[in-house]
Amino acid sequence: PYMPTILSPGESAQFTKGGPVVLMVKPPERDTLGNVVQIEFQSCVYDQVRSACNWISRGIEGGVTVPDVLAGTYRLPARIVGETGSWRLRVQRPADPGAKTPAGYPSQWRRFGIIPLAAQPGPILKGPVFGR
């Protein structure tokens, strides 16, 4: 109840490289998001021995306005959607030393994938049927 909830992208959703990926967040029930949030990104480097991801920090996007993430109009940065692979992100209200507000609890990690355009499944086309 004290952390924001990521509504979009959906868990394990896949997006085409370079295409728009929209972030939408539900505020915490018993806290506030304030005016801005920060988004932390990590990418997966797969470890075959452990059969698991080693998550590597890929930076933090700060100063994202709360109205944008509540309305679902914030698009993930090109440096993220322009690179194929498995990703995860989480959202958090940053600390505000001026207002003496501590950082909020981070959301749960949300995983998603960026796939190459060629890997995007296309429509199944049926050719003409002869002899009928």
Smallest Cα–Cα separation from 96: which of 58, 61, 59, 63? 63
Q: Kindly report, residue by residue over 20-79, the tens digit of the pLDDT.
A: 999 999 999 988 898 999 999 999 999 999 999 999 999 999 999 999 999 999 999 999
Q: How far apart are CA 47 and CA 50, in angstroms?
A: 6
**What is the pLDDT, as a whole number, of residue 116?**
94
pTM of the model: 0.85
Q: How far apart are CA 51 and CA 74, in angstroms?
A: 33
* C-alpha atoms less than 13 angstroms from C-alpha of 30 in its C-beta half-sphere: 3
**What is the pLDDT, as a whole number, of residue 126?**
54
**What is the pLDDT, as a whole number, of residue 123?**
58
